[in-house]
Amino acid sequence: MQTNYTPEEIEKLWGNIDKEVSITFYNGSRCWEWIAGYFDTGYGSIWAANKNRGAHRVSYELAFGEIQDGLFVLHRCDNRRCCNPAHLFLGTNKDNMEDRNKKGRMAYGERHGSRLHPDRMVRGEDHPQCKLSDEQIAEIRQRYASGKETQRDLAKMFGVGQSQIQRILKYESRA
């Protein structure tokens, strides 16, 4: 199914991509760096069309249309936060694994991860349960306040434990 993003979500995507700042290139074109929160896997994270999505996947969909079920959006540039459609290609889980092995574990973390931009790492490095950005935390509080979702819904939606949601709502924890 083609995902339908709202104009606000698309605007949020572009607002969180910096096309000038990356030091990584592929085939002469610069990576489009995701500058907001990211998953602990290193992929940019955006709340769009009712769930947390990989920012590169949303960018891919906007450029090329729907992603078939079960397919992965892989990076030619090996920069997981890159959202440049020219650097992205579709593959199966097997392709994804092979690609990862080929490139090696060192590529992630050394060149693109928190070492380069520790300031951009989402809360959670110092708290093993946490993998939410400030933006997501704000969203959790907002959604709960609006009364549409229960704590349980939110935990499921954001892929965290209910106890973490409780802490966020009590403002005890930023993440």
Residues that bind Zn ion (CB under 5 A): 31, 77, 79, 82, 84, 87
**Shortest Cβ 169–Zn ion spacing (Å):** 37
> Closer to Zn ion at the Cβ: 32 or 158?
32
SS3 54: strand
Q: Which is nearer to Zn ion, 87 or 167 (CB)?
A: 87
Question: How far apart (Å, rounded) are the C-alpha atoms in residues 82 and 139?
Answer: 24
Q: Which is nearer to Zn ion, 104 or 161 (CB)?
A: 104
CA torsion sign for 72, 126, 162, 45 is negative
Closest alpha carbon to 171 in 148, 143, 149, 138:
138
Q: Closer to Zn ion at the Cβ: 59 or 79?
A: 79
CB 30 within 8 A of CB 19: yes
The amino acid at 16: N
Q: Would you give the DSSP letter of residue 128?
A: T
